[in-house]
Structure 1
Amino acid sequence: MALVLGAAVWPGGRPSPTLARRTAHAIALYRAGQVGAVMGCGGPGAHPPAEAAVIARLCHEAGLPAAAILVEDRSTTTRENLSYAKALLPAGAGAVIVTDAYHAPRARLIARQIGLDATVSTPGWAGVGPRQRLRHIPREALALLATLLGQR
């Protein structure tokens, strides 16, 4: 099961480039037979609908069968994404967390902390421009430290 971690939804229900990139990667994993289903994770943000609903819509538009698309649409943080998704997985099931490379270390750490048997798969750095890197890498470094210290 691919767990696609949410990202911003833009006005009109459009996926942000980050959300589109993560979802496209999960769809590729599904088509390659590396996962049997895709779960969109993420609740409502600044613009409707919930992040998970946009992920599900993109998967549907890409031709994934309805039975292979699940949603976790209450979470608002990475920890909640993974905790709520874990509760929806069959007992003992493993998962592939789909997120961006800059976010992967913290997602992996949180999965370990909550006892989620998971690997992480990213679309790499393609589509993550210099400005995004300058913004996200330092932020994630601080968030990783906070997670290690139990503050997040």
Structure 2
Amino acid sequence: MRGERVALVLGAAVWAGGRASPTLERRALHAAGLWRSGEVSAILASGGVGRHAPSEAAVIARLCREAGVPEAVLMLEERSTSTEENLRFSLPLLREVGAASVVIVTDGFHAPRARLAARRLGLAALGPLSSDSPRVPLSANRVKAGLREVPAYLWYALRLRG
């Protein structure tokens, strides 16, 4: 994998019974699509155990395997519990495999904060960042998640000054 492009999939909620939330499923399937199209040569799934087991990374990897991604190109970071930790804990793994470039896979409303945190941690990330699709309906949960990003972005901007 040395010198290749890696998709870094940021975690999201795992529901009871180990089911992926729609956000997590969307991100995992987007990463699998990037691999199938040859845009990335490996996928790094990032996310620890939240309210429900297994880890977000394990669920991302399972969804990617089910979408045809071979085990050999999947890596897991299973300690993180925030966007900053997703990126911070993934950096050593990316260095270890000699990733030449990284594509952060997240949702459009989350992408600005993820990009800010990556930049502050010294990670130059490429697009496409968003797993959003015109087919994804705008729901109250997605609006709420988008609105939550405004104060979160400001918090990251102040706290991660570099």
TM-score range with shorter-chain normalisation?
Answer: over 0.9
Aligned length: 152
How far apart are the structure 2 equivalents of 1:87 and 1:2?
Answer: 15
Q: 2:124 aligns with which of 114, 117, 127?
A: 117
How far apart are the structure 1 equivalents of 2:21 and 2:139?
Answer: 17
- 1:28 corresponds to: 33
Secondary structure class of the residue paired with 1:149: helix
Secondary structure class of the residue paired with 1:129: coil
- Using the TM superposition, give the Cα deviation of residue 151 of structure 1 relative to its aligned residue in structure 2, in angstroms: 6.7
Query: CA separation of 1:128/1:38 partners in 2, compared to 1, >3 Å: closer, same or farther?
Result: farther
Q: 1:38 aligns with which of 40, 43, 56?
A: 43
**How does the TM-score come out when normalised to structure 2?**
0.88
How far apart are the structure 2 equivalents of 1:58 and 1:124?
Answer: 17
How far apart are the structure 1 equivalents of 2:77 and 2:117?
Answer: 17
Fraction of identical pairs, as percent: 52
- 2:52 corresponds to: 47
How far apart are the structure 2 equivalents of 1:55 and 1:116?
Answer: 22
- 1:96 corresponds to: 103
Contact 1:2 1:39 in 2 (8 A): yes
Contact 2:9 2:44 in 1 (8 A): yes
**How does the TM-score come out when normalised to structure 1?**
0.93
- 1:149 corresponds to: 158
Q: Which amino acid aligns with 2:100?
A: A
| Residue range with higher mean Cα deviation, 119-128 or 6-15 | 119-128
Q: Is structure 2 residue 110 aligned with structure 1 residue 132?
A: no
Considering only aligned residues, what root-mean-square deviation do their CA atoms show, in Å?
A: 1.6
Q: Which runs of 5+ in 2 are unaligned?
A: 1-5
Query: CA separation of 1:151/1:2 partners in 2, compared to 1, >3 Å: closer, same or farther?
Result: closer
Secondary structure class of the residue paired with 1:70: strand
